[in-house]
Amino acid sequence: MVELTTRQQEVYKLIVEGKTYGQVATDLGLNFRTVEFHAARIAEKIPGTGAPLRKIMAYAVQNSAQNGHIPPLP
């Protein structure tokens, strides 16, 4: 399992729920660029290559499939 900070966990959860970076920013009271920053840091912690959003979603699907639950996708 990837170790995420509390804020990264909040951003990760909302992204996996299918929210855009803009919606995540609004929900958490953050700037859009701050959400991009957190997404990039999350993606750095996930093995593999690709754009941050693709890596995060692929990781979420893989991790959830192993636990018997597929998260909702946008």
Phi and psi based region of residue 3 (left: phi greater than 0; alpha: psi -120 to 50; beta: remaining):
beta
Record the pTM.
Answer: 0.79
CATH number at residue 52: 1.10.10.10
Q: For residue 29, give every residue at least 6 positions away whose Cβ sits within 8 Å of its Cβ, in sequence order, or none.
A: none
1 falls within a domain: no
pLDDT at 73: 43
Number of domains in the chain: 1
Q: pLDDT, tens digit, for every residue of 30-46? A: 999 999 999 999 999 88
pLDDT at 69: 59
pLDDT at 42: 92
73 falls within a domain: no
- pLDDT averaged over every residue in the chain: 85
State which residues form the domain around 38.
6-66
71 falls within a domain: no
Report the distance separating Cα 50 and Cα 44, nearest Å. 10
Mean pLDDT confidence for 11-34: 94
